[in-house]
Amino acid sequence: MNHVARAKPRANAVLNSVLVTPTDLPPEATRDISGAMNAILADTFALYLKTKNFHWHLSGPHFRDYHLLLDEQADQIFATTDPIAERVRKVGGGTLRSIGHIARLQRITDNDAEYVEPSDMLAELREDNKTLAGRLREAHGVCEQYGDVGSASLIELWIDETERRTWFLYEASRRADSGGR
Ligand SMILES: [Fe+2]
């Protein structure tokens, strides 16, 4: 009997034994970290698409500035999706498989409105990024609990990027004078 055939499936309802990556983490760590990271991943995809949605449907005198800002932010958000998913695989879990899977897990809400004022776009994205930072902090806590420093150290970078996006969205939405009036 070879090593693979002898390997016992982990306590993870998502995967069969063929897809369970070897890890020194206990099964409950795989379960909890995967759960937290997959929820973050769904939120990240939802925020990516909303940022692109607003990038595509912007209108008004600040078009060029906001259009480019949102494109830059969307690129940054999208760049985190693969590392999040691959952390889940590295700790032995299964990750997202479809748009439907994202829809079942996402906590950041969609905005399908036909028209959104540019100031409302920036305000909504600012709040969504702020929310995402909080969720990243929660996921960081789960990873720390099991000593998963690989995931935790990446999450720290994503928190910083998320806070930077929040900051830019906040400043871009202020009015012209220094007092924001
Ligand atoms: Fe574009």
Mean pLDDT lowest among 21-35, 97-111, 136-150: 21-35
Residue 22 alpha carbon to ligand 1 centre in Å: 40
The mean of the pLDDT values for the chain is 90
Which pLDDT score, from 0 to 100, does residue 9 have? Answer: 40
Is the separation of the CB atoms in 118 and 59 below 8 Å? yes
What confidence tier does 136 reach under pLDDT thresholds 50, 70, 90? very high
Cα of 122 from ligand 1 centre, angstroms: 17
**For 23, left (φ over 0), alpha (ψ -120 to 50), or beta?**
beta
The token duo for 47 is 């925020």
Residue 4 has pLDDT above 70, yes or no: no
DSSP 114-164: S---HHHHHHHHHHHHHHHHHHHHHHHHHHHHTT-HHHHHHHHHHHHHHHH
Let me know: does 143 contact 41? Beta carbons within 8 Å: no
Q: How far is the CA of 68 from the centre of ligand 1 (A)?
A: 8
Residue 12 above 60 pLDDT?
A: no
The pLDDT of residue 16:
66
Q: Are 6 and 81 in contact (CB under 8 A)?
A: no
Say if CB 52 and CB 74 are below 8 A apart.
Answer: yes
- Axis crossing angle, helix 118-145 with helix 63-90, rounded to the nearest 10: 20
Q: Tens of pLDDT along 51-107?
A: 999 999 999 999 999 999 999 999 999 999 999 999 999 999 999 999 999 999 999
Cα-to-centroid distance, 71 and ligand 1 (Å): 6
Looking at the chain, the whole-number percentage of residues with pLDDT higher than 90 is 80
* Spatial contact of 36 and 93, defined as CB atoms under 8 Å apart: no
Q: How many C-beta atoms surround the C-beta of residue 43 within 10 A?
A: 23
Instruction: Measure 78 CA to ligand 1 centroid, in angstroms.
Output: 13
